[in-house]
Structure 1
Amino acid sequence: MDIVAHGLYTAAAAIFVNRRLAAPVRLGWAVFFGVFPDLASFTVPAVLRIWWRLTGATTTLLPQPGGPRLDWVFGLYNCVHSLLIFVLVFVAAWIIARRPVWELLGWLLHIAVDIVTHRGWFAIQPLWPVSSVHLDGIPWETPWLLAATYAFLVAIFFALWRTRPQPFHQGTAHRQSL
């Protein structure tokens, strides 16, 4: 899934949960953790490629045969897309905060969506580093899936908007009783 869709799905989930639970989920942090795996994996390589382009070390932002290699990115990618690593971080955060840090579930949602929407080099290995087992899902950039993703997001946010809590106006209730 693309990073924008991850952020939107996480925001929708956090808004829904906040309407149902007494302990609120901080929307900004939930969205941050919803996009965290991609930020952690791709921010440093993107900044390096831009720097190399600006300084003339390369003529393109794209990888080139014989050009600088960033193989370590795949290890980081596997790490932040691993259910096992997520569980370890979630438990550690719970112990440190002395409460579940629900905002971290945005990270879990990210992994779950990516398992079925990635393939090839970017196929998610949910049990990494114990196992390299993965599912070759439907690539998120497949036109019909991309269109369905954003259509579904529009539907979700429309439903959230339609079901939003309405403010209570005391004056309205009083006028109706007169």
Structure 2
Amino acid sequence: MDIFAHAIWTSIAAKELNEKRLKEKRNRISIYWSAFWGIFPDLFAFSIPFALFIAGLQNGVSFKIQFHEHGGPGELANILYHYSHSLVIFALVFVLVWLYYKRPRLELLGWMLHILIDIPTHSLKFYPTPFLWPISNYHFPYGVPWSEPWFMLINYSVLLCVLTLTIYRNRISAKF
């Protein structure tokens, strides 16, 4: 799924979780940090190689050398993609952060939601989600490419409906 949809879905999920936590008189979670963690897997996998590529160009390393002799940014992106799109790696980081802060940092669940959304929205032909890596190299074989126009239309239509319902519900509850 595209990075904007990930940010919006994660923000909606965080807002809904906050509604539930408010009723239970529990601390709210940051919608902004949840959205950040919702886009983190793609930022990590693609921004680092892109920045290194640009830095190489600025330092006089030619396009040809970067791609033909060093594999280019795509090779590094593939490696980082495995780390950032693995539920196993996510679980390990989540537990380590929980131990460090002595409480779960629920904003990190945006990362997990990103992976769960990517599993059925990536085909085997373009960045299939390695959600069980490093335990298994299994990829969901029936993924629908998120870049298909019909899928994007449905996705953003559903997002618009969910956002509209959320705003409407908040206005109704604010009156009472």
TM-score computed with the length of structure 1 as normaliser: 0.84
Gaps of 5+ in 2: none
Shift of 1:48: 3.1
Larger helix percent: 2
Cα distance in structure 1, aligned partners of 2:156 and 2:54? 29
Residue 10, structure 1, aligned to residue 14, structure 2: no
Equivalent residue, structure 2, for 1:98 = 102
Equivalent residue, structure 1, for 2:89 = 85
Cα distance in structure 2, aligned partners of 1:91 and 1:76? 20
Residue 74, structure 1, aligned to residue 78, structure 2: yes
What letter corresponds to residue 129 of structure 1 in structure 2? P
Distance 1:49 1:65, change over 3 A: closer
1:36-51 mapped onto 2 (5 Å cutoff): 36-51=40-55
What letter corresponds to residue 144 of structure 1 in structure 2? W
Equivalent residue, structure 1, for 2:36 = 32
Cα distance in structure 1, aligned partners of 2:159 and 2:126? 27
What letter corresponds to residue 134 of structure 2 in structure 1? P
2:168 maps to which of 156, 162, 165: 162
Cα distance in structure 2, aligned partners of 1:35 and 1:55? 29
Distance 1:123 1:45, change over 3 A: same
Equivalent residue, structure 1, for 2:150 = 144
Residue 130, structure 1, aligned to residue 135, structure 2: yes
Cα distance in structure 2, aligned partners of 1:59 and 1:83? 34
Gaps of 5+ in 1: 169-178
Cα deviation 1:91-127 (Å, max 9, x = unaligned): 1111111111110100010000000111224001111
Q: CA RMSD in A?
A: 2.1
- Aligned residues of 2:130 and 2:138 also touching (Cα < 8 A): yes
Indicate the percent of aligned positions where both proteins have the same amino acid.
Answer: 37
